[in-house]
Protein backbone atom coordinates (compact mmCIF):
# COMPACT_ATOMS: atom_id res chain seq x y z
CA UNK A 1 0.00 0.00 0.00
CA UNK A 2 1.34 3.41 -0.98
CA UNK A 3 -0.09 6.73 0.21
CA UNK A 4 0.66 9.71 -2.02
CA UNK A 5 -0.59 13.28 -2.22
CA UNK A 6 -2.41 14.75 -5.20
CA UNK A 7 -3.83 18.16 -6.04
CA UNK A 8 -6.80 19.23 -8.12
CA UNK A 9 -7.52 22.71 -9.45
CA UNK A 10 -11.17 23.74 -9.31
CA UNK A 11 -12.98 25.67 -12.04
CA UNK A 12 -12.80 28.81 -9.89
CA UNK A 13 -9.08 28.41 -9.19
CA UNK A 14 -8.96 26.75 -5.78
CA UNK A 15 -6.31 24.15 -5.01
CA UNK A 16 -7.96 21.03 -3.63
CA UNK A 17 -5.67 18.73 -1.64
CA UNK A 18 -6.11 15.02 -2.12
CA UNK A 19 -4.61 11.62 -1.46
CA UNK A 20 -4.24 8.36 -3.33
CA UNK A 21 -3.88 4.96 -1.69
CA UNK A 22 -2.68 2.25 -4.06
CA UNK A 23 -2.27 -1.51 -3.53
CA UNK A 24 1.05 -3.18 -4.33
CA UNK A 25 -0.38 -5.09 -7.30
CA UNK A 26 -2.27 -3.59 -10.24
CA UNK A 27 -5.69 -2.58 -8.89
CA UNK A 28 -8.94 -4.26 -9.94
CA UNK A 29 -10.74 -0.91 -9.73
CA UNK A 30 -10.73 2.46 -8.03
CA UNK A 31 -12.94 3.97 -5.33
CA UNK A 32 -13.37 7.76 -5.24
CA UNK A 33 -14.10 9.16 -1.78
CA UNK A 34 -16.16 12.23 -0.82
CA UNK A 35 -15.98 12.88 2.93
CA UNK A 36 -18.42 14.48 5.38
CA UNK A 37 -18.87 17.99 6.71
CA UNK A 38 -16.03 19.48 8.72
CA UNK A 39 -13.60 16.58 8.22
CA UNK A 40 -11.03 15.49 5.64
CA UNK A 41 -9.85 12.43 3.68
CA UNK A 42 -7.02 11.67 6.08
CA UNK A 43 -9.60 10.19 8.46
CA UNK A 44 -10.23 7.38 5.94
CA UNK A 45 -6.78 5.79 5.78
CA UNK A 46 -8.09 2.60 7.42
CA UNK A 47 -10.90 2.42 4.85
CA UNK A 48 -8.32 2.76 2.09
CA UNK A 49 -6.28 -0.05 3.70
CA UNK A 50 -9.28 -2.39 3.60
CA UNK A 51 -9.90 -1.55 -0.05
CA UNK A 52 -6.21 -1.87 -0.95
CA UNK A 53 -6.10 -5.29 0.68
CA UNK A 54 -8.98 -6.33 -1.57
CA UNK A 55 -7.14 -4.98 -4.64
CA UNK A 56 -8.74 -1.53 -5.07
CA UNK A 57 -7.12 1.89 -5.18
CA UNK A 58 -8.79 4.78 -3.37
CA UNK A 59 -8.63 8.46 -4.30
CA UNK A 60 -10.11 11.32 -2.32
CA UNK A 61 -9.78 15.04 -1.81
CA UNK A 62 -10.61 17.49 0.95
CA UNK A 63 -13.76 19.38 0.01
CA UNK A 64 -13.31 23.07 -0.72
CA UNK A 65 -13.24 24.88 2.60
CA UNK A 66 -12.14 21.71 4.40
CA UNK A 67 -8.91 20.06 5.50
CA UNK A 68 -5.91 21.14 3.46
CA UNK A 69 -7.97 22.46 0.55
CA UNK A 70 -8.31 26.16 -0.15
CA UNK A 71 -11.47 28.16 0.36
CA UNK A 72 -13.25 29.77 3.33
CA UNK A 73 -14.06 27.16 5.97
CA UNK A 74 -17.47 25.56 5.45
CA UNK A 75 -18.34 27.60 2.37
CA UNK A 76 -19.19 26.79 -1.22
CA UNK A 77 -20.30 29.39 -3.79
CA UNK A 78 -22.98 26.95 -4.96
CA UNK A 79 -23.95 23.33 -4.53
CA UNK A 80 -23.06 22.73 -8.18
CA UNK A 81 -19.47 23.75 -7.35
CA UNK A 82 -19.20 20.61 -5.20
CA UNK A 83 -20.43 18.52 -8.13
CA UNK A 84 -17.94 20.22 -10.44
CA UNK A 85 -15.18 19.27 -7.99
CA UNK A 86 -16.34 15.64 -8.06
CA UNK A 87 -16.05 15.84 -11.86
CA UNK A 88 -12.38 16.68 -11.35
CA UNK A 89 -11.92 13.67 -9.06
CA UNK A 90 -13.59 11.39 -11.61
CA UNK A 91 -11.33 12.71 -14.35
CA UNK A 92 -8.25 12.18 -12.21
CA UNK A 93 -9.29 8.59 -11.49
CA UNK A 94 -9.83 7.85 -15.17
CA UNK A 95 -6.45 9.37 -16.07
CA UNK A 96 -4.54 7.48 -13.40
CA UNK A 97 -6.41 4.18 -13.77
CA UNK A 98 -7.64 3.95 -17.38
CA UNK A 99 -10.11 1.19 -18.20
CA UNK A 100 -10.63 0.33 -14.52
CA UNK A 101 -14.15 0.29 -13.01
CA UNK A 102 -14.82 3.35 -10.85
CA UNK A 103 -16.94 3.45 -7.70
CA UNK A 104 -18.04 6.65 -6.00
CA UNK A 105 -18.21 6.51 -2.20
CA UNK A 106 -19.52 9.27 0.07
CA UNK A 107 -20.18 9.58 3.78
CA UNK A 108 -22.75 11.90 5.42
CA UNK A 109 -22.58 15.18 3.46
CA UNK A 110 -20.45 13.18 1.02
CA UNK A 111 -23.28 10.64 0.76
CA UNK A 112 -25.64 13.45 -0.15
CA UNK A 113 -23.15 14.66 -2.75
CA UNK A 114 -22.51 11.30 -4.43
CA UNK A 115 -26.25 10.61 -4.70
CA UNK A 116 -26.82 14.07 -6.17
CA UNK A 117 -23.90 13.53 -8.52
CA UNK A 118 -25.35 10.22 -9.69
CA UNK A 119 -28.76 11.76 -10.34
CA UNK A 120 -27.80 15.14 -11.75
CA UNK A 121 -24.60 14.40 -13.72
CA UNK A 122 -25.49 10.89 -15.01
CA UNK A 123 -21.91 9.54 -14.77
CA UNK A 124 -20.72 6.18 -16.04
CA UNK A 125 -19.83 4.30 -12.85
CA UNK A 126 -19.62 0.71 -11.66
CA UNK A 127 -21.54 1.71 -8.54
CA UNK A 128 -22.21 4.21 -5.78
CA UNK A 129 -21.77 3.70 -2.03
CA UNK A 130 -23.60 6.09 0.32
CA UNK A 131 -22.69 5.82 4.01
CA UNK A 132 -25.05 7.56 6.49
CA UNK A 133 -26.05 10.05 3.77
CA UNK A 134 -27.50 13.39 4.78
CA UNK A 135 -30.95 13.14 3.26
CA UNK A 136 -32.65 14.46 6.36
CA UNK A 137 -31.08 15.40 9.66
CA UNK A 138 -31.83 13.19 12.64
CA UNK A 139 -32.19 16.25 14.87
CA UNK A 140 -34.05 19.52 14.52
CA UNK A 141 -31.67 22.48 14.21
CA UNK A 142 -32.74 25.52 16.26
CA UNK A 143 -35.48 27.35 14.37
CA UNK A 144 -33.61 30.64 14.67
CA UNK A 145 -30.55 29.16 12.98
CA UNK A 146 -32.54 27.79 10.03
CA UNK A 147 -34.42 31.08 9.68
CA UNK A 148 -31.21 33.11 9.70
CA UNK A 149 -29.62 30.65 7.27
CA UNK A 150 -32.42 31.07 4.76
CA UNK A 151 -32.44 34.85 5.18
CA UNK A 152 -28.69 35.01 4.61
CA UNK A 153 -28.68 32.53 1.72
CA UNK A 154 -28.51 35.36 -0.81
CA UNK A 155 -27.81 38.35 1.45
CA UNK A 156 -24.69 36.93 3.13
CA UNK A 157 -24.12 33.35 1.93
CA UNK A 158 -20.63 33.14 3.50
CA UNK A 159 -21.78 34.03 7.03
CA UNK A 160 -20.14 31.51 9.38
CA UNK A 161 -21.96 29.58 12.11
CA UNK A 162 -21.17 26.48 14.14
CA UNK A 163 -22.63 23.33 12.56
CA UNK A 164 -24.10 22.20 15.89
CA UNK A 165 -23.05 18.56 15.58
CA UNK A 166 -22.68 16.63 18.84
CA UNK A 167 -19.38 14.85 18.29
CA UNK A 168 -20.22 12.28 20.98
CA UNK A 169 -22.68 10.85 18.46
CA UNK A 170 -20.01 10.05 15.86
CA UNK A 171 -18.94 6.70 17.32
CA UNK A 172 -19.17 4.52 20.42
CA UNK A 173 -15.35 4.40 20.31
CA UNK A 174 -14.12 7.17 22.62
CA UNK A 175 -10.71 7.13 20.91
CA UNK A 176 -12.39 8.11 17.63
CA UNK A 177 -14.14 11.03 19.32
CA UNK A 178 -10.93 12.20 21.01
CA UNK A 179 -9.01 12.02 17.74
CA UNK A 180 -11.74 13.99 15.98
CA UNK A 181 -11.85 16.77 18.57
CA UNK A 182 -8.05 17.11 18.66
CA UNK A 183 -7.56 17.01 14.88
CA UNK A 184 -6.39 20.46 13.68
CA UNK A 185 -7.81 19.79 10.21
CA UNK A 186 -11.33 19.23 11.53
CA UNK A 187 -13.63 22.26 11.93
CA UNK A 188 -17.25 22.96 12.89
CA UNK A 189 -17.84 25.81 10.46
CA UNK A 190 -20.87 25.99 8.18
CA UNK A 191 -22.29 28.78 6.03
CA UNK A 192 -25.83 29.27 4.65
CA UNK A 193 -24.78 28.29 1.13
CA UNK A 194 -23.51 24.94 2.44
CA UNK A 195 -25.95 24.23 5.27
CA UNK A 196 -29.19 25.18 3.54
CA UNK A 197 -27.90 23.73 0.27
CA UNK A 198 -27.32 20.36 1.93
CA UNK A 199 -30.75 20.35 3.58
CA UNK A 200 -32.58 21.26 0.37
CA UNK A 201 -30.59 18.89 -1.84
CA UNK A 202 -31.28 16.03 0.58
CA UNK A 203 -35.02 16.61 0.34
CA UNK A 204 -34.69 16.85 -3.44
CA UNK A 205 -33.01 13.44 -3.46
CA UNK A 206 -35.93 11.86 -1.60
CA UNK A 207 -38.33 13.30 -4.18
CA UNK A 208 -36.25 11.95 -7.10
CA UNK A 209 -35.08 8.59 -5.76
CA UNK A 210 -37.08 6.66 -8.37
CA UNK A 211 -34.81 8.20 -11.04
CA UNK A 212 -31.59 6.76 -9.59
CA UNK A 213 -30.25 4.18 -12.03
CA UNK A 214 -26.71 3.32 -10.90
CA UNK A 215 -25.97 0.25 -8.73
CA UNK A 216 -26.23 1.49 -5.16
CA UNK A 217 -25.16 0.35 -1.70
CA UNK A 218 -26.61 2.51 1.07
CA UNK A 219 -26.04 1.81 4.75
CA UNK A 220 -26.74 3.54 8.03
CA UNK A 221 -26.50 3.02 11.79
CA UNK A 222 -29.88 2.55 13.44
CA UNK A 223 -28.86 4.83 16.33
CA UNK A 224 -27.49 7.63 14.14
CA UNK A 225 -28.45 10.89 15.84
CA UNK A 226 -26.95 13.15 13.17
CA UNK A 227 -28.46 11.99 9.87
CA UNK A 228 -31.71 10.09 9.52
CA UNK A 229 -31.56 6.30 8.99
CA UNK A 230 -35.28 6.35 8.16
CA UNK A 231 -34.58 8.72 5.27
CA UNK A 232 -31.94 6.32 3.93
CA UNK A 233 -34.40 3.44 4.15
CA UNK A 234 -37.03 5.53 2.35
CA UNK A 235 -34.61 6.49 -0.44
CA UNK A 236 -33.50 2.88 -0.93
CA UNK A 237 -37.10 1.64 -1.04
CA UNK A 238 -37.86 4.00 -3.93
CA UNK A 239 -34.88 3.02 -6.10
CA UNK A 240 -36.17 0.74 -8.85
CA UNK A 241 -32.88 -0.81 -9.92
CA UNK A 242 -29.93 -2.54 -8.24
CA UNK A 243 -30.01 -1.25 -4.65
CA UNK A 244 -28.77 -2.82 -1.42
CA UNK A 245 -29.75 -1.26 1.91
CA UNK A 246 -28.17 -2.24 5.23
CA UNK A 247 -29.25 -0.93 8.62
CA UNK A 248 -26.54 -1.57 11.21
CA UNK A 249 -28.29 -2.24 14.50
CA UNK A 250 -27.18 0.05 17.33
CA UNK A 251 -24.44 1.84 15.41
CA UNK A 252 -23.87 5.61 15.43
CA UNK A 253 -23.13 7.96 12.54
CA UNK A 254 -19.62 6.88 11.51
CA UNK A 255 -20.27 3.17 11.00
CA UNK A 256 -16.78 2.82 9.52
CA UNK A 257 -15.36 4.07 12.83
CA UNK A 258 -17.44 1.97 15.19
CA UNK A 259 -16.03 -1.03 17.10
CA UNK A 260 -17.82 -3.15 14.45
CA UNK A 261 -16.01 -1.39 11.61
CA UNK A 262 -14.49 -4.62 10.26
CA UNK A 263 -17.99 -5.93 9.52
CA UNK A 264 -19.04 -2.61 7.97
CA UNK A 265 -16.00 -2.40 5.72
CA UNK A 266 -16.31 -6.09 4.87
CA UNK A 267 -19.83 -5.54 3.57
CA UNK A 268 -18.70 -2.61 1.45
CA UNK A 269 -15.72 -4.49 0.02
CA UNK A 270 -17.84 -7.55 -0.86
CA UNK A 271 -20.44 -5.36 -2.57
CA UNK A 272 -17.75 -3.62 -4.60
CA UNK A 273 -16.20 -6.96 -5.55
CA UNK A 274 -19.61 -8.27 -6.64
CA UNK A 275 -20.06 -5.22 -8.87
CA UNK A 276 -16.60 -5.28 -10.46
CA UNK A 277 -16.87 -6.35 -14.07
Annotated catalytic residue: which of 108, 131, 171, 201?
108
224 as an active site residue: the answer is yes
Q: Which residues of the chain have pLDDT under 70?
A: 140, 142-145, 147, 149, 152-153, 155
- Residue 144's pLDDT is what? 61
Active-site residue, selected from the candidate residues 35, 253, 256, 275: 253
Relative orientation angle of helices 192-207 and 109-120, to the nearest 10 degrees: 60
196: domain CATH number is 3.40.50.1820
Instruction: Tell me if 104 sits within 8 A of 114, measured CB to CB.
Output: yes
| Active-site residue flag, 108 | yes
* Distance from C-alpha of 221 to C-alpha of 210, rounded to nearest angstrom: 23
Q: Kindly name the residue from 66, 107, 187, 224 that is annotated as catalytic.
A: 224
User: Are 255 and 132 in contact, with CB atoms under 8 Å apart?
Assistant: yes
175: enclosing H helix or E strand: helix 174-182
End-to-end C-alpha distance for the chain, whole angstroms: 23
pLDDT at position 145 is 67
Domain of residue 37, residue span: 2-274
Q: How many domains does the chain have?
A: 1
Our answer to whether residue 220 is catalytic in this structure is no
Distances (CA, A) of 107 to 114, 154, 176, 179: 9, 27, 16, 18
Amino acid sequence: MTDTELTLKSKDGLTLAGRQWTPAAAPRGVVCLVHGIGEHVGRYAHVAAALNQAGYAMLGYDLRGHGRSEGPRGFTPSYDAYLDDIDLLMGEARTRFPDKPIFLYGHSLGGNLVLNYGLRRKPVLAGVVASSPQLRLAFAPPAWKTTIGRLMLNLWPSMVMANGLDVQNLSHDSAVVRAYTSDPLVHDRVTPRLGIGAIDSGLWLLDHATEFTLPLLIFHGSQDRLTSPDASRAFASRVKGDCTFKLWDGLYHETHNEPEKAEVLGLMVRWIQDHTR
